[in-house]
Amino acid sequence: MKKLLAIALSIGLSLSLSLPLALGLCFTGGLSAQADSITEAELSEITAQWKPSAHALADVNCSSCHQANETKAFVEKPNYESCQNCHEAETDTFLLGKHGIRLLEGQSPLTPSKARLPMKPEAHGKQMNCNACHNVHSVDTYQASVDSCLTCHNDEHSLNYKNSKHSQLFLAEGNLERPSSSSVTCSTCHLQRESLDSGDNVLVNHNNTYNLKPRDRMASEVCMNCHGMEYSFNSIFDNELVNSNFSEPPKIHLKSFDMIRVLQKKREG
Ligand code: HEC
Ligand code: HEC
Ligand code: HEC
Ligand code: HEC
Ligand code: HEC
Ligand code: HEC
């Protein structure tokens, strides 16, 4: 028990002045609960993940998440409410989609065992929460945008993503800039970026149901950031293409675009 605290503090001391305090807060209160389950190696791994993260750079420390708001008690496994303190819009939208709605309604979290769609067998018991997609200590958005989804999703459309031009371009880029204007990941289409708060901030809409139906919403709010209107609509209403995750150009031609062309010609003529 004492050894763990010493380690925590020594890691802290070599990092910054605020960290020992942060770690101290975490581990003096929580030590008895932690002592049996957490090894020194795990603790230093967690610290190494956190150190280069956007959180560490913004002074979000261990205690920012591991301490209860009111009682200041140590929280061993924080849930979405700890994130909500600082990320209100992301949390509110998460709770409205299929992924989060059970939590909003006070039910147990969604798990793949409850799904209608095919899911990875080994993920059946995995609980949906912010940490289902985010490594909460590194908060690496690159890993969250494709790899995390594929720890659960196992249908043809999801698995075919890796064969698409979108995927090749994302892998070639090698990182996920914020905001990303060129990469197309699962999250580009399903967790779209938009102005969610009253400011000019572009944030990630975490409602994974929001732009599914009708499909023209995704066409105009996502695809048309990069493709023309006709290309976007012809692609998104092509069921085969959705199934192959857009791994070839569209084959269907929506008649309404031909009608628009005829009308336009008439008007011009
Ligand atoms: C952004 C919020 C956040 C920050 C910052 C954070 N943690 Fe965590 N931590 C969590 C969450 C959420 C969990 C629960 C994860 C889970 O259950 O998978 C967790 C889990 C843990 C666990 C494992 C608990 C267990 O019993 O499995 C340890 C140990 C831990 N954190 C230590 C730290 C240390 C040390 C720091 C600072 C270097 C830190 N955390 C910073 C959110 C955070
Ligand atoms: C004390 C406030 C605070 C808490 C609590 C907090 N965050 Fe953050 N978070 C920030 C700040 C500040 C940033 C960096 C500035 C920004 O991009 O918004 C950030 C950035 C992020 C990012 C973007 C990382 C990147 O590389 O761009 C993710 C993802 C994230 N947080 C997830 C979480 C999750 C999940 C939790 C809960 C487990 C959480 N945060 C808890 C304040 C917080
Ligand atoms: C912990 C497992 C898990 C992870 C991780 C996960 N999902 Fe899901 N997702 C589910 C389950 C379970 C459902 C419900 C499926 C059903 O009811 O058939 C679902 C449903 C969906 C739906 C359909 C929503 C609807 O209203 O029908 C979309 C779209 C989706 N997920 C996208 C994603 C994306 C994108 C990611 C990664 C950024 C992701 N998911 C990560 C488990 C997961
Ligand atoms: C289904 C997977 C998934 C879940 C669940 C999830 N996130 Fe995210 N989140 C992502 C992905 C992927 C990105 C990066 C998307 C991008 O940049 O295209 C992201 C980005 C973020 C960001 C940085 C971008 C921004 O809006 O500032 C924050 C903060 C964040 N998430 C917080 C949360 C919080 C809080 C929760 C829980 C309430 C949560 N996330 C749950 C997948 C998820
Ligand atoms: C270029 C945009 C795009 C990308 C990239 C993308 N999807 Fe989709 N996804 C769609 C469209 C369009 C649909 C069909 C929407 C509908 O019919 O409601 C869909 C449907 C889904 C569904 C719901 C299927 C159902 O039958 O209810 C899930 C789950 C899903 N996608 C997960 C993923 C995952 C996981 C990834 C990444 C591995 C991914 N998607 C990548 C556009 C995309
Ligand atoms: C961030 C920009 C961006 C977004 C958003 C985007 N795409 Fe793409 N898409 C591209 C790029 C770049 C290519 C590759 C073009 C090339 O190689 O000629 C591409 C290729 C395609 C292809 C052709 C694939 C092939 O193998 O030839 C289809 C179909 C496609 N996208 C459909 C969509 C649909 C549908 C959406 C919205 C659900 C969408 N895209 C969203 C940038 C984007």
Q: What is the pLDDT of residues 200-211, one digit of tens each?
A: 888 999 999 999
Q: What is the mean pLDDT of the chain?
A: 86
pTM of the model: 0.93
CA atoms within 13 Å, Cβ hemisphere of 8: 27
Token pair 């802290």 in the structure block, residue: 12
Is residue 25 pLDDT above 60, yes or no?
A: no
CA-closest residue to ligand 3 atom 30: 208
Given this model, what pLDDT does residue 178 score? 59
Last residue in a domain, options 38, 63, 78: 78
What percent of the chain shows pLDDT beyond 70?
A: 84
Is residue 183 pLDDT above 50, yes or no?
A: yes
Q: Which domain holds residue 220?
A: 213-269
| Residue 58 in contact with ligand 2 by CB distance below 6 A | yes
Last residue in a domain, options 34, 53, 78: 78
Average pLDDT for 39-54: 95
Q: Are residues 90 and 200 in the same domain?
A: yes
| Residue 141 in contact with ligand 2 by CB distance below 6 A | yes
Measured from the Cα of 159, ligand 5's closest atom is: 38
Domain count, the chain: 3
Distance CA 238, CA 57 (A): 44
Q: Are residues 100 and 55 in the same domain?
A: no
Is residue 158 pLDDT above 90, yes or no?
A: yes
Q: Are residues 45 and 133 in the same domain?
A: no
| Residue from 137, 139, 140, 151 to probe ligand 1 pocket by mutation (most atoms less than 8 Å from CB) | 137
Last residue in a domain, options 33, 57, 78: 78
Distances, alpha carbon 16 to alpha carbons 21, 52, 56, 184, in Å: 10, 13, 10, 37
Q: Are residues 177 and 89 in the same domain?
A: yes
Q: What residue type is assigned to position 172 of the chain?
A: A
Q: Are residues 98 and 138 in the same domain?
A: yes
CA-closest residue to ligand 5 atom 36: 186
pLDDT digits (tens, 9 = 90+) for 106-144: 999 999 999 999 999 999 999 999 999 999 999 999 999
Measured from the Cα of 169, ligand 6's closest atom is: 12
Q: Are residues 40 and 116 in the same domain?
A: no
| Residue 148 in contact with ligand 2 by CB distance below 6 A | no
